[in-house]
Amino acid sequence: MSIDETNGLETPEENDGHNEEKASEALRKVTYLSGMYENWFLDYASYVILERAVPYVNDGLKPVQRRILHSMKKLDDGRYNKVANIIGNTMQFHPHGDASIGDALVQLGQKDLLIDMQGNWGNILTGDSAAAPRYIEARLSKFALEVLFNAKTTNWKQSYDGRNKEPITLPVKFPLLLAQGVEGIAVGLASKILPHNFNELIAACIAYLKEEEFEIYPDFPTAGMVDVSRYNDGLRGGAVKVRARIEKVDNKTLKIVEIPFGKTTSTLIESIIKANDKGKIKIKKIDDNTAADVEILIHLAPGISSDKTIDALYAFTDCEYSISPNACVVEDDVPKFIGVQEILKRSADKTVDLLKLELEIRKAELEEAWHYASLERIFIENRIYRDIEECETWESVIETIDIGLKPHTKHLMRAVTEEDIVRLTEIKIKRISKFDINKATDFIQSIEDEIEEIKVHIANIIPFTIRYFQSIRKKYGKGKGRKTEIRSFDSIVASKVVVANEKLYVNYAEGFIGTSLKKDEYLCDCSDIDDVIIFRKDGSYFITKVTDKLFIGQNIVHISIFRKNDKRTIYNVVYRDGKAGVTYAKRFNVTGLTRDKEYNLTKETLGSRITYFSSNPNGEAEIIRVLLKPQGRIKKLNFEYNFADLLIKGRASMGNILSRTPVQKITLKQEGISTLGGRKIWFDPDVLRLNTEKRGDFIGEFIGEDQILVVLRDNTFYLSSFDLSNHYSDQISIIEKFDMNKVWTAVFFDADQGYYYVKRFTMDGNSKTQSFVGDNKASKLVCLSDETYPQFQIKYGGSQADRPLDIIDAEEFITVKSFKARGKRLTTYDVAKIKEIEPLVREDIIIETELVDDTNVPDDSVVNMEA
């Protein structure tokens, strides 16, 4: 066989033993796929990381952002430029298409920090895109011009085609990376740094430079609420929860006024509609009235709780979701993971270095100016210019001036160079003729003063940097307050707030349950994420998820929806141990089980059987009648048993012996009442929710129709139930158990009448918010007291400032009236101050007290949110 000569190999007839050697040499030159992948792919990955996706820690910018800002600085003349022109100019530096530059420019503009915009730049609230680049304009903001650019402190490199220079990083004197935030996905690497508040970042920089402790948390342009308890300094593994702000217009309408970061009104509405279609929530319609501010109206279906719907929106829609930060930056051309506090520290240190460098550059420039001004004064004052009149060559001119200067240059900061002498020869005769020695001296003195000032700044660079940050905050911090409220979020259990969108059926004969058994017996309404608990006659029980159809076995005693951690649902049970054993009674609750694992409430003796069973949602304890089987000498064949005499124990307890004699029949004699007492409720001010886990402030013990009184800071109040799903405003002033007989005393300025009034009243309202100082928003509350006999001190002002203080006994001054009454005018004189003083103690009043079990209950069950 021969090989084509074009391959560079000889035929077997001509190789003389050389073709094998040449073939092996050719194979050695082959680059295998694995090698190509290792080299080329790593090169590509490194390029994407360093040149596209991950920001540099020095200035907080991605390359495309840096090139856009550099291009805008080159174009800057104080006027707006067409975005299309900016994009075209940036393509000198950015080796990618105009689309990527345009998108990056719009995103920079929407952050509303570095770029002044003109035209339709889109809307971060609605998700509307910006107009075409030819229709919108931009220029650098004053803030960007002040903190981003300084050609003297910038390190430069060649652009991708070698025709231009571009900055390696901009000399940014501000924690820009944390202010804007960034998101980028590279090859095997991602960066997600959340935006922070402008003024808070400056305050943190100042605190760091003062060696004080500081904390910084995200702040989003879309406002909303954020839970930062797991922020983890912005590092991998951390997470923040963001929520929309939802307000109740009335019991039938909810209004979303702020949206979570990263979502738009369109995506939010889409997620709500999807949850409604799946049956997680029930709404009638949605109206999107968003313009400059977010306003999404959600109209609820009839009979749907607005409070539970708010929870359901957080549980099943984009009204709440988690963001996982990942603080990845490029430092010295290497990607690194560092926390946001460390990023801020490095930014503050970089600002110190840049300010010091600027001062040193300015000092060098001033020293050079001082040097030349001094030389010029020497040259003119000593008439050295006359010595060169007879010089015939350039060399002799230089030499003559140099000789003439030497007697006068000992005090100069540096030696005189030939370049200095050349500059002196360029001085015009007109300047020499008009030279004013006094002005020259004053000019040199001003330079010396500025040099000394700069030396002081350099020696005290940290205080100088602090003053710089303070000036930045004063110039540009107005209107940049925190938008996103930092809150602790309560955990919403989805099964408690989901709408019952299914109906559960059971077939006892065949042992099936499910939502598709519509021809069988209806059991209850449920949701598709609920669990059910099932008890059989042999004492076995288990929980399982609601499905279309499931075999659960025959001999079913009880089926109901299972609520995890429900301690108030108590099961009262009588069971026989074995086929002819002792009969036991027990009371227990079931707070949690492993799904689809079987348990048993008996002693698990073969033949055990439940003979009586009841489920009691509020721990009721009924009375039963027990009929025994006739046997031997037993005289009393029936007796009554009260479950209230039996302690509630764990589900695995054996129970108490009810009878050692076989039981023939058990019947219900009397319905029971709750043995659990009232429900003790606490209010957690961090999450603004009620709870039974003793978090926050104790409100009281509630049963039946008891209500909660809520007084708001705008001098309104309303009554609410003690349902744990209730939502409360962050404007609460007082929250306590409602007492219809409690008398309140209010002192307020009535804006309608222009005088101070006092009134005593009971807050006998309802769930509707009502004001106790009138409808005029200008009326101001001075004091609200729940003392029995309050007193108020009046200090007069104006022309009556000399009048003695008056003491008002409110109980004698006015009788108790409706909260709608205006009250009684305190005085017609000018008032300087009214304050509540120590209340009276009526010795003729006997106050009866009742001993109560106050275990784990604070003495004061009134929660004053203003304390």
3-state secondary structure of 855: coil
Which residues are bridge partners to 165 per DSSP?
158
Burial class, 572, CB count within 10 angstroms (exposed 0-12 / middle 13-18 / buried 19+)? buried
Residue 30 in tokens: 């082959």
Gap between the Cα atoms of 242 and 245, Å rounded: 10
Q: How many CB atoms lie within 10 A of CB 445?
A: 11
Rounded CA gap, 73 and 58, in Å?
19
How far is residue 464's CA from residue 346's CA, in Å, rounded to a whole number? 17
- Give the separation between CA 113 and CA 330, rounded to whole angstroms: 23
| Nearest one of 218, 178, 292, 199 to 481, comparing CA atoms | 199
Cβ–Cβ < 8 Å for 204, 347? no
List 253's β-bridge partners, or say none.
250, 299
Question: How far are the Cα atoms of 75, 94, 560 from residue 59, in angstroms, in the given order?
Answer: 21, 18, 61
How many angstroms separate the CA atoms of 413 and 746, rounded? 78
Question: Minimal CA–CA distance to 498: which of 230, 745, 720, 317?
Answer: 317
- Cβ partners under 8 Å of residue 53, min gap 6: 62, 184, 185, 186, 189, 190, 191
Residue of 37, 44, 47, 135 marked active site:
135
- 729, amino acid identity: S
The reply to whether 135 belongs to the active site is yes
Q: Which amino acid is at 545?
A: K
Please list the alpha-helical segments (H only) found in 483-533. Answer: 494-497
Residue 431 backbone zone (phi > 0: left; psi -120 to 50: alpha; other: beta): alpha
If DSSP codes are grouped into helix, strand and coil, which group holds residue 455? helix
How wide is the angle at C-alpha 237 spanned by C-alphas 233 and 241, nearest 5°?
Answer: 75
Q: Name 745's Cβ contacts closer than 8 Å, sequence gap at least 6.
A: 758, 759, 760, 783, 784, 785, 786, 787, 790, 810
Enter the tokens of residue 203. Answer: 């305050």
Buried b (16+ CB within 10 A) or exposed e, 51-61: bbbbbbbbbbb
Instruction: Please tell me the distance from the alpha carbon of residue 208 to that of residue 856, in angstroms, as a whole number.
Output: 43
Report which DSSP code applies to 196: B
b/e sequence 756-784, b meaning 16+ C-beta within 10 Å: bbbbbbebebeeeeebbbbeeeebebbeb
What secondary structure does DSSP assign to 279-338, as a single string?
A: TSS-EEEEEE--SSS--EEEEEPTT--HHHHHHHHHHHSTTEEEE--B-EEEETTEEEE-
Beta strands in 461-607 (DSSP E): 485-486, 502-507, 512-514, 521-526, 531-536, 540-545, 550-551, 556-562, 570-576, 583-588, 599-600
Which among 348, 19, 427, 10 is positioned nearest to 177, based on CA atoms?
348
Task: Tell me the Cα Rg of the chain.
Answer: 42
CA–CA gap between residue 749 and residue 827 (Å, rounded): 11
Find all residues with CB under 8 Å of 291, minimum gap 6, and list them: none
The catalytic residues are 135
